[in-house]
């Protein structure tokens, strides 16, 4: 549950920085892709947590699914930018997704320890 609060906090912080840097048009991509990154990370952690003590192949299978979800987030970024560039400008949208997902990835390392 800490990941959710951290993700939402990062979403708010990243969105505020994007709004100050890129203007009002960066708020929607900031909130959308920040929340998307939080949800993806939450699902990935929920997938890995039950198999932390399981055999290595089970752990790696779940971990790979989580990485696939993160890659799906990148695909959604591309689709959003190419289909509705006026709502999702490339740079703010990329910063929103990466600005939330990367710090959350580092917190996942503490889960595995």
Enumerate the domain spans of the chain: 2-112
Per-residue pLDDT, 109: 77
User: For the whole model, what pTM was predicted?
Assistant: 0.92
Per-residue pLDDT, 111: 64
- Whether residue 112 is predicted with pLDDT greater than 70 in this model: the reply is no
> What are 54-96's pLDDT values in tens digits?
899 999 999 999 999 999 999 999 999 999 999 999 999 999 9
- Residue 77: count of CB within 10 angstroms of its CB: 21
Question: 96 and 104 in contact (C-beta within 8 Å)?
Answer: no
SS3 category, 84: coil
- Whether residue 52 is predicted with pLDDT greater than 90 in this model: the reply is no
Q: Would you state the structure tokens that stand for residue 68, as one six-digit string?
A: 């696939």
Q: What share of the chain is helix, strand, coil (3-state, %, to 5)?
A: 90, 0, 10
């Amino acid at each position: 549950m800490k990941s959710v609060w951290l993700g939402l906090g990062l979403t708010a912080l990243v969105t505020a920085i994007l709004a100050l840097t890129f203007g009002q048009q960066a708020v929607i991509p900031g909130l959308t892709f920040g929340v998307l990154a939080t949800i993806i990370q939450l699902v990935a952690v929920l997938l890995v947590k039950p198999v932390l003590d399981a055999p290595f192949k089970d752990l790696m299978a779940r971990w790979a699914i989580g990485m696939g979800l993160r890659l799906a987030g990148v695909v959604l970024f591309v689709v959003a930018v190419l289909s509705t560039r006026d709502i999702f400008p490339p740079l703010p949208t990329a910063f929103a997704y990466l600005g939330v997902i990367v710090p959350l990835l580092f917190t996942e390392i503490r889960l595995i320890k």
